[in-house]
Structure 1
Amino acid sequence: MTVLAFIIGVVVLVVGLAVSIALHEVGHLAPAKAFGVRVGQYMIGFGPTVFSRRVGETEYGFKLLPLGGYISMAGMYPPSAATTGEGDDARPRRRRLFETLIQDARTANDETLQGDGAGRAFYQLPVYKRVIIMLGGPAMNLVLAIILFAIMFSGIGVQTATTTVASVNECVLPAGSTQTSCAADDPASPAAAAGIRPGDVLVSVDGTPVDTFAEASAIIQKSPDRPIPVVVERGGTRQTLEVTPVLATREIATADGGTTTAEVGFVGMSATVAFVPQPIWDGPQAALAQTGQVVGIIWQLPARVYQTAVDTITGAGRDPNGPLSVVGAGRLAGEVAATETPILNRVSGMLALLGSLNIALFVFNLVPLLPLDGGHVVVALWEGLKRVWARMTGRRAPRPVDATKLVPITYIVVIGLIIMGGTLILADIVNPVQLLG
């Protein structure tokens, strides 16, 4: 059953990734068609085509490797004639590697401008429309992440210690004690002595209404050796009990999410943990907060991948907040699905993982390097700035920016991404991140 659950988790991750990629490309496709750009292909994946069907002028399909996607728009770059001066082709030149790459890119781009593509090209659009098209994909991932986090926080809820008492200690045991049962001479816990029972719902503590167990605990911890009234609801009726917390050494939560040891008031009861739906804005806030964290990771990606390689070679533990490959994400999805926890816990974990994946896609695609969406945005904005400067200085409108000249840099970026991706895949196989122990 555990193996089956692990496989189901991996399948859910793969399907979720495919859906995320598909929606990302829809984010490009919809505005492109709305602005009249000819879109020849809409493909999910890379490599050989597994299935495709032409609808109107666009071929929709799936390719063998579901690790990305793309849409093919007419005229992503200006035609060769619009970016080169007369006589350039006749001028002799050495066919260096980079020049060959540039010419191949121009030739492929020119082919998309044949037929009706000549008047419906991407490069002919105003700058703001090109930016909208290129930002549409990442924006779709951000919206999907916000929806997933909203479902997780407000639809399912966050596990919270509620005001319902789960258990009451019979006695007070010293902190760190290995003793598991009460001896005859052990003092009764203040909660037991006061008559608090499992199932009681805390209404107020020391005259202060409480909505969470954390609020009740905070009051109790600040009231050692002082009798305080505790109102509980039991069987539909309210009762007032008097509890005197004892001073005991206990672990308490700190503001940064950790724990520390301190002497505080203690009564010896625990809370029932349940999923409590949060306000609708908590999910989007969590998504945006995580976006900021991912920006920090992406900004330092080469250094973090290098550190991951060092950790893998030396056998050191991986940083749980470090980068992952799709293999590592799939492994975590399998572990989440295979944990022996209630189904809601696993569903919430999968939503968190898929939401985080979409945030990573959003941030990564905004990196201002070709062939990523952010690179195309930078090219469009640069052309817009050149046009504005020409108008301000009374000069002739400049030629369209020839982004094919950046093709060599694009290849270098792609090679770098392949190397980093391969490093992360190897690390995720040999030295995987341990999130679940």
Structure 2
Amino acid sequence: MLAFVIGVLIVVVGLALSIGLHEIGHLVPAKLFNVKVVQYMIGFGPTVWSRKKGETEYGIKAIPLGGYISMIGMFPPGKDGETKAASTGFFRGLVQDARDSSTDSITPGDEDRAFYKLAVWKRIIVMLGGPFMNLVLGVLLFGVLVTGFGIPRDNFVGSVSECALPASSARDTCEPGDPQAPGSLAGLKPGDRILSIDGTPITSWNDSTQIIRDHPGDPLAFVVERDGTSVDLTVTPMLSERPALDENGRVVTDASGKELTVEAGFVGIGPAAVRVQGPITEVLPTVGQQIQGVAGVILNLPQRMIDTANAAFGPGERDPNGPMSVVGVGRVAGEVAAAEQLEFVDRAAGIVGILASLNIALFVFNLIPLLPLDGGHIAGALWEGIRRGWAKLFKRPDPGPVDLAKLMPLTLGVAILLGAMSALLIYADIVKPVALF
């Protein structure tokens, strides 16, 4: 239990620091560009602690699910500067309230320090600063993970069967007369790292499994690394009754839970995961893969949320690669820290990996081009730059700043949607958490 609590606390503190540095990424360029920042807050809800330094109040709020900085003049005034005009209708009221709040935040003498008056490129830098800080943190943490702890590679041979037994066999030990397994016959040994098969580079156990299963009776050229030396072997998979696998390498079962079998190539080797320290040049490609993975989750978020709801309210299991709330991430961190079947280095690396992945997720998520996310402000500034550049090119009047206040109804809808998704994920992480072990 103590290890579980420590794992949760490490991630909570790490997340708070990541949020704090994210907001510093906004704060520093805003102050450099002379924008008046009245608040720097970590969290939402009631203020737990705050202190004012200069013109900015720094504080911590009760709900640690985000943070913000409050800059004056986020939105331009309405047409002809009329921000106090009467508005009818709920959505018009939202737009007008946003304009009025923005105008009211500008104190006398600070009119030129409003955010909306910044040049387009400066606004982009201010809003991009937060996600950029998360990207930097993610790169640093993945650097520690790749070059320090090492990344688990499962293209190592963990076991070599002496004989070949069909999947339906009632026994799992060899007896005289059993055919020798192709892997043992070819000279494969535990600890060998499979580098390539028939010229195809092998980076995961699934890579080798697919090739072996698809080539029964075909001599395959294996290149393995053994004690630091490259060894060439020829392995001929035999046709054997094997468990049916899906595209992710998981065993397929029927409605009753019985494993399905197929005739496929068989060598008789089992995997082992070994941590391999990589060069610093491997860090950025690893970060790129993580960004691609997070982007894939976001692009398929509707279906992912449906799958999460089905698992939460039905008998299905959660996808370990699906979305999770802060509650779920904390629980996973606790389970990793308390996993007695893992070595200490694996547990420490797991916590570092969680924090690294969190920061990459924050980087990608905040770049979604929708308000109230940073990406929404960046998209608005880019659109303003395009409009003004187009007008200047064709010698037309300057169209002025883009009025993002008009998007407040959409912003409200996005906020409600994000709140609903967060509530569903928190509920799912409580009643049907992701099972790691």
Q: Normalising by structure 1, what TM-score?
A: 0.77
The answer to whether structure 1 residue 258 and structure 2 residue 249 are counterparts is: yes
Q: Deviations over 1:406-436 (max 9, x none)?
A: 22221221111111211221122222233x2
Pairing 1:324-335 to 2, within 5 Å after superposition:
324-335=324-335
Partner of residue 150, structure 1: 143
Partner of residue 254, structure 2: none
Q: For residues 244 and 179 of structure 1, do their structure 2 counterparts lie closer, same or farther at Cα, with a shift above 3 Å needed? A: same
Alpha-carbon distance in 1 for matches of 2:225, 2:366: 53
- Whether the 8 Å CA contact 2:388–2:400 is kept in 1: the answer is no
Partner of residue 207, structure 1: none
Alpha-carbon distance in 2 for matches of 1:273, 1:313: 34
Partner of residue 319, structure 1: 319
Gaps of 5+ in 2: 196-201, 252-261
- Whether the 8 Å CA contact 2:6–2:334 is kept in 1: the answer is yes
Partner of residue 279, structure 1: 279
1:341 Cα deviation after fit: 0.8
- Whether the 8 Å CA contact 1:48–1:64 is kept in 2: the answer is yes
Q: Deviations over 1:54-78 (max 9, x none)?
A: 2333222211111000111122222
Alpha-carbon distance in 1 for matches of 2:304, 2:422: 12
Alpha-carbon distance in 2 for matches of 1:101, 1:265: 66
Partner of residue 39, structure 1: 37
Alpha-carbon distance in 2 for matches of 1:291, 1:224: 40
The answer to whether structure 1 residue 75 and structure 2 residue 64 are counterparts is: no
Q: Deviations over 1:153-184 (max 9, x none)?
A: 22111234698x97777777666655455557
Q: Secondary structure at the match of 2:80?
A: coil
Amino acid at match of 2:119: P
Partner of residue 132, structure 2: 139
Alpha-carbon distance in 1 for matches of 2:61, 2:411: 22
1:26 Cα deviation after fit: 1.5
Partner of residue 390, structure 1: 391
Q: Deviations over 1:371-422 (max 9, x none)?
A: 1101111211222122112212322222322222222221221111111211
Over the matched positions of the two proteins, sequence identity in percent amounts to 47
Task: Identify the match of residue 104 of structure 1 among 94, 97, 108.
Answer: 97
Q: Secondary structure at the match of 1:281?
A: helix
The answer to whether structure 1 residue 123 and structure 2 residue 103 are counterparts is: no
The structure that has the greater radius of gyration is 1
Q: Secondary structure at the match of 1:398?
A: coil
Pairing 1:202-281 to 2, within 5 Å after superposition:
249=240, 258=249, 274-281=274-281
Q: For residues 155 and 44 of structure 1, do their structure 2 counterparts lie closer, same or farther at Cα, with a shift above 3 Å needed? A: same
1:247 Cα deviation after fit: 5.7
1:51 Cα deviation after fit: 1.6
Q: For residues 430 and 406 of structure 1, do their structure 2 counterparts lie closer, same or farther at Cα, with a shift above 3 Å needed? A: same
- Whether the 8 Å CA contact 2:40–2:57 is kept in 1: the answer is yes
Amino acid at match of 2:275: F
Alpha-carbon distance in 2 for matches of 1:196, 1:320: 33
Alpha-carbon distance in 2 for matches of 1:231, 1:104: 67
1:48 Cα deviation after fit: 1.3
Q: Normalising by structure 2, what TM-score?
A: 0.77
- Whether the 8 Å CA contact 1:149–1:355 is kept in 2: the answer is yes
Task: Identify the match of residue 28 of structure 1 among 17, 26, 33.
Answer: 26
1:326 Cα deviation after fit: 1.4
Alpha-carbon distance in 2 for matches of 1:11, 1:322: 23
1:13 Cα deviation after fit: 1.8
Partner of residue 84, structure 1: 79
- Whether the 8 Å CA contact 2:166–2:242 is kept in 1: the answer is no
1:37 Cα deviation after fit: 1.7
1:196 Cα deviation after fit: 10
Amino acid at match of 2:95: I
Q: For residues 185 and 292 of structure 1, do their structure 2 counterparts lie closer, same or farther at Cα, with a shift above 3 Å needed? A: closer
- Whether the 8 Å CA contact 2:294–2:361 is kept in 1: the answer is yes
- Whether the 8 Å CA contact 1:171–1:188 is kept in 2: the answer is yes
Partner of residue 360, structure 2: 359
- Whether the 8 Å CA contact 1:190–1:243 is kept in 2: the answer is no
1:4 Cα deviation after fit: 2.2
Partner of residue 258, structure 2: none
Partner of residue 413, structure 1: 414
Q: Deviations over 1:268-324 (max 9, x none)?
A: 887875422122232321221221222232233234323422333333223333222
CA RMSD after TM alignment:
4.4
1:121 Cα deviation after fit: 2.1
Gaps of 5+ in 1: 205-210
Q: Secondary structure at the match of 2:297?
A: helix
1:119 Cα deviation after fit: 2.4
1:250 Cα deviation after fit: 9.1
The answer to whether structure 1 residue 404 and structure 2 residue 405 are counterparts is: yes
Task: Identify the match of residue 152 of structure 2 among 155, 159, 166.
Answer: 159
1:342 Cα deviation after fit: 0.4
Amino acid at match of 1:84: K
